[in-house]
Structure 1
């Protein structure tokens, strides 16, 4: 091979070396790119799995929290019934308050275990010497406990306050006074006032009492008619508060009766059968 020929081959090799190097470099970048694709897919897959796990964990924790949360509750009402309204005051008490009208008249109610009342009226007619009039009314209202509306005693307290306010806001009332009454239920208030009518001057006494979830409103008034003397307001107030305490006692007795019935039912259900299984088989 001549020297000229050798120089041309060397030159071609030198010319082709950069091209081969470029192709090798591009193949390397292509391989690197191909290698990166699975890595990215693996990373994306890990990220997706991690998010799903967090969501599942949060959902599980929320469900556990919801199941662990207690249902709303409210304390039970103490009284679940009312006494018979016309039989809650003793005969002697009625003779003192309404001497000529001891037979009561029960009001209408679609649920006597929740709402009840009885009224008595008395007219002691002395002809030309005048007459003494007395009127007595006892109303009872019982409140049940309710999750949305509250405990029975709290609802009764709201009604009690309203009854006291209403008694002090009677139209045309004069000399209105209000004072607490001790030893009568959980709380009691006496509201007294004068009310003039065409028949005469009436002395009104209203005793509002709350015992747990029951409110008792006792209205008692008296008047001297046809020229007879007006009764003493203090005497009427004393008689009204005495009757209110008696009404509270009648309410508390319903709880004792209910407890006694529950105890009797429990004893009856736990009593052994009179005949044993073996005796029945025999």
Structure 2
């Protein structure tokens, strides 16, 4: 049988081609170029927020605090109903890692009392924006919606308020329909300066207090005090309301503000990273 001729040159050419294909997957590939060599040019990722969890909202307010804010709760004679009133009602939420809240309502003989607390943990999905920065932006929007008067300052008893100097951070004015002028009976002329809606400098990273006195039809007046504050990437909002049952009775502004601010300080301390 006749053998086929062996051509050394062809074999050498095939070997060279195979070696070239193998070499192309080495250190000069685009994949390798994107690894250690380019580490210094990668964009820095914004830092996550301090807080990764939220407290249990209906359990974070103590019974003694509820007694102070909602005195009508002690008037409930039925033990089961009183125990249920202390428990409160959790706010419906679909992500308890991000937002939780609780509500209390007590119908006493002289007034109907309301209290709500809400916690929101802000998470930024933009690598260039930190959780804290995102929370700061959201809190600024909340403060803007509150429409604090232009005279709002950073403390209830600050010297700035006494001198009548406006806070540089306030952006709204009473003429624009701010909280202080939401009702004729709660106008700036009728409300002591240190009780007007204002910024607070002793709570969290930033905070404000709003106080609105409104009418319920032509009968009694309802007061609503709101204290909101931000600590790192968590925003906490307290809404405290009282609706008297008697005509001509006005809820005490100072007492309600003091109670709401004390609760805010307790909630600030309840946060844990």
For the 8 Å contact 1:119–1:136, the answer to whether it is kept is yes
Mark the runs of 5 or more structure 1 residues left unpaired by the alignment. 1-58, 126-130, 256-282
Tell which deviates more after alignment, 161-170 or 95-104: 161-170
Distance 1:67 1:186, change over 3 A: closer
Contact conserved, 1:75 with 1:145, CA < 8 A, in 2? no
Task: Determine which structure has greater relative contact order: mean sequence separation of CA pairs < 8 Å that are 6+ residues apart, divided by chain length.
Answer: 2
Equivalent residue, structure 1, for 2:53 = 81
Bigger Rg, which one: 1
1:149 and 1:103, CA in 2 relative to 1: closer, same or farther beyond 3 A? farther
1:39 paired residue number: none
Equivalent residues of 1:132, 1:228 under 8 A apart? no
1:102 alignment partner in structure 2 = 86
Shift of 1:105: 0.7
Assess if the C-alpha contact under 8 Å between 1:201 and 1:224 holds in 2: yes
The aligned counterpart of 1:227 is 247
In the alignment, is the contact (CA less than 8 A) between 1:190 and 1:206 conserved in 2? yes
- The residue number in structure 2 matching 1:141 is 120
1:103 shift after superposition: 2.8
Task: Measure, in 1, the Cα distance between the counterparts of 2:236 and 2:210.
Answer: 14
Give SS of 1:159's match.
helix
Q: 2:138 aligns with which of 159, 184, 187?
A: 159
Say whether residues 1:196 and 2:215 are aligned partners. yes
1:43-192 counterparts in 2 under 5 A? 66-99=38-71, 100=73, 101-125=85-109, 131-148=110-127, 150-168=129-147, 173-174=182-183, 175=187, 177-192=196-211
State the TM-score, normalizing by the size of structure 2: 0.62
Preserved contact between residue 206 and residue 217 of structure 1 (Cα < 8 Å)? yes
Q: Kindly state the Cα deviation for residue 180 of structure 1 after the two structures are TM-superposed.
A: 2.1
So what's the TM-score if we normalise by structure 1? 0.60
Q: d(CA) in 1 for partners of 2:111 and 2:257?
A: 16
Query: Structure 1 CA distance, aligned partners of 2:57 and 2:128?
Result: 27
Aligned pair in 2 of structure 1 residues 204, 91: CA closer, same or farther (>3 Å)? same
The answer to whether the 8 Å contact 2:136/2:230 transfers is yes
Instruction: Check whether the contact 1:72–1:147 (CA below 8 A) recurs between aligned residues.
Output: no
Gaps of 5+ in 2: 1-29, 74-84, 148-177, 189-195
| Cα distance between partner residues in 2 of 1:202 and 1:73 | 48
How far apart are the structure 2 equivalents of 1:234 and 1:149?
43
Instruction: Determine the C-alpha separation between the residues in 2 that align with 1:183 and 1:111.
Output: 30
SS class of match (2:58): helix
**How many equivalent residue pairs?**
189
**How far off its partner does 1:67 sit?**
4.9
Q: Take 1:149 and 1:219, find their aligned partners in 2: how far apart are those partners?
A: 33
Q: CA RMSD in A?
A: 2.6
Alignment of 1:7-18 (within 5 A): none
Question: Given that residues 45 and 128 in structure 2 are in contact (C-alpha distance below 8 angstroms), is that contact kept between their aligned partners in structure 1?
Answer: no
Aligned counterparts of 1:237 and 1:94: Cα–Cα separation in 2? 15
